[in-house]
Structure 1
Amino acid sequence: MEAVVILLIVVAVLGLIVLPSSLRIVKEYERGVIYRFGRVNRLPKEPGPRLLLPFADRMTKVNMQVITMPVPAQDGITRDNVSVRVDAVLYFRVVDPIRATVDVQNYQFAMLQVAQTSLRSIIGKSDLDDLLSGRERLHEGLELMLSTPATGWGVHIDRVEIKDVTLPESMKRSMARQAEADRERRARIITADGELQASQKLSEAAQTMDANPSALQLRLLQTVVEVAAEKNSTLVMPFPVEMLRFFDRAGQSPQPAPPPAPAPAAQPAQPAPAPPAVEPAADAAPAELDRAAPAELPTGSPAAVPDPRSPEE
């Protein structure tokens, strides 16, 4: 009898010692992978209290939450030969705890190494413009590159994003100059377009003022009013050439009426037209003399040429 009591006491003591090590609590976001004598149980333990066989079972807890893993910055050269430094962030979670613990030694470290390698590879395949502006396509490419090994490890990739792209200082200055030149080009184009539209409007206004000269006077008065509103002591009045032309036309319009000019009336009595009427006779006389000269003067007579010096002397 005493031996039985002693045996029960020993069992109770052993139970108090072994029970804490055999009882495990699996949390809601965890799954338990049990190894019995080194062989894995293909059914992971659900959340709740779990009792393990002493000295036979060993349980590993696997976190099923989404893990946020920063990818260290990687130095690389883009496809257009620009040195950049890119870092990213990786979001993933375990979907198969058995494969995550059996097929890979440390799935988090493995995912980190694959993410670094994939990021360096995607840098070499992309242009600088893609890294700066077209990141959605790069994110999809990174996710595809990481999903291939992660699927065999029981890991699901939720999202991959590039956080920052660091450029050399010389490249930043070059990009700043390029952006400044582009903005200056657009500013000049806008200014030239405005000048073109203004010239067209001014041409239409000039045509309107040319058709109605009084509009030019009204415009001049409006300009004077605008200048006088500044309360200046000196008033500058522009006098356009069109105004002179207007006055010139205004002065020329009544000119056909005054015919009292004496010169046109005296023209019929001038003796000047008479000599031209006689000139044809004078012109005809030399012609007749030329025709009569061969008959009056002997041919080849040298005495017919008088000495001009004898009468003068």
Structure 2
Amino acid sequence: MIELISQAVLGLLSIYVLFKFIQSIQLVPTQRAYVVERLGNYHKTLGPGFHALVPFFDKVQYKQDLREETIEVEPQECFTRDNVKVEVDGVIYLAVIDPVNASYGITNYRFAAVQLAQTTTRSIIGKMDLDDTFEDRAIINKEVVNVLSEMEKAWGIRVLRYEIKNIYTPKTIQNAMERQMTAERNRRATIAKSEGIMQSTINDAEGEKEEIINKSEGEMQRQINEAEGVAEEIESIAEATAVSIEEIAEALSHDKGKEAMQMRLAEQYISQLSKLASDKNDVIIPKDVTNYDAIMSGLSLDKISIVPVESDLKKGT
């Protein structure tokens, strides 16, 4: 009986020793750190990989995750500088950078970080008005990160960022803010409408002014064009007259030129007499029909400038 008991105890001891040997083998994953104590004192920190410890002497006391982790900050009541109660919650993003200090520097760095973030948030919001808390969230986030960063070395952590999730206000404050926003939108709409009307009036006036200017410039250009056309016409007539006079002068300088010109003048004289009597029953004859040579001599080139045609005409029935 005693032998059976001793064999059972020996078997249990063997199993326990085997368990301890197996337990002394540690496989540390990536981005993990195991803190090992030997006989109750800190001995070393195990990094990723395979490790064999001394059974009964070494013990993995803490296992730290080195990855970035997210910690929720529960909603808390805060009072702004203008005595408005709000509830604020947020999120902390941090990571362990020193496994030893994270294990021995503080009992629970997560709980401590949340508490410090809440107290810092209450302190900052207490210095701000309600409207500023909505507009200056980045300032609040930055201040919380700065305060938590002061404890990085002691706690073995690094606070990467802090973000405010929500800022809750009482229902009465929300209604007042909605009325204020509605009034502000109406004010902006009224200003925008008046500015639109003013701009439309300015545009109409500018359009009318441009139209008047264009009409005046068009009228001025038309008058200029007409004047230039008249001037060109006069110039052309003058040039044509000068050319015809030169041709007449040249023709008169030749032999029989004067006789031809005198015959031409006689033809025109008779033609004019025919025109005067063409549309009437009147008969127009010269003063002295029998003296044809005198009439023709009056149409000579030497006297053509002083012979009045109407004085040589007589109307009769």
Please state which band the TM-score falls in when normalised by the shorter chain: 0.5 to 0.7
1:77 corresponds to which residue? Answer: 79
Shift of 1:135: 1.5
* Unaligned runs of at least 5 residues, structure 2: 1-6, 213-317
Find the aligned partners of 1:199 and 1:159 in 2 and give their Cα distance. Answer: 53
- Report the CA distance between 1:77 and its aligned residue: 0.8
Structure 1 counterpart SS, 2:188 = helix
> Identity of counterpart residues, as a percentage?
35
Partner of 1:137: 139
Letter in 2 for 1:160: Y
Q: Is the 8 A contact 2:31 2:65 kept in 1?
A: yes
Alignment of 1:1-313 (within 5 A): 15-41=17-43, 43-59=44-60, 60-200=62-202
Find the aligned partners of 1:209 and 1:103 in 2 and give their Cα distance.
84
Contact 1:92 1:156 (8 Å CA) reproduced: yes
Can you list the C-alpha shifts for 1:6-50, whole angstroms capped at 9, x where unaligned?
9xx999766533322222221112111111111112x41111222
Instruction: Note the C-alpha offset of 1:75.
Output: 0.5
Cα separation, 1, equivalents of 2:172 and 2:155: 43
| Structure label with greater radius of gyration | 2
Match of 1:241 in 2: none
User: TM-score, normalized by length of structure 1?
Assistant: 0.58
Separation in 2 of the partners of 1:99 and 1:198? 71
Distance in 1, matches of 2:178 and 2:209, equals 46
- String of CA shifts for 1:50-103, please: whole Å, max 9, x gaps: 222222111121111111100000111112322111100001011000111111
Do the aligned residues in 1 keep the contact of 2:31 with 2:66 (CA within 8 Å)? yes
Q: Residues 151-205 of structure 1, C-alpha deviation per residue, up to 9 Å, x if partnerless?
A: 3111100110000111111111111111111121122222223333445566678
| Matched residue type, 1:58 | K
Distance in 2 between residues matched to 1:119 and 1:147, nearest whole Å: 15
RMSD over aligned CA atoms reads 2.9
- The count of aligned residue pairs is 204
Alignment match, 1:214:
none
Change (3 A) 1:99 1:199: closer
Structure 1 counterpart SS, 2:87: strand
Instruction: Give me the TM-score of the superposition, normalised by structure 2.
Output: 0.57
**Alpha-carbon distance in structure 2 between the residues aligned to 1:204 and 1:13:** 103
Query: Alpha-carbon deviation of 1:113?
Result: 1.7
| Distance across 2 between alignment mates of 1:31 and 1:208 | 81
Q: Which amino acid aligns with 2:59?
A: R
SS of alignment partner, residue 71 of structure 2: strand
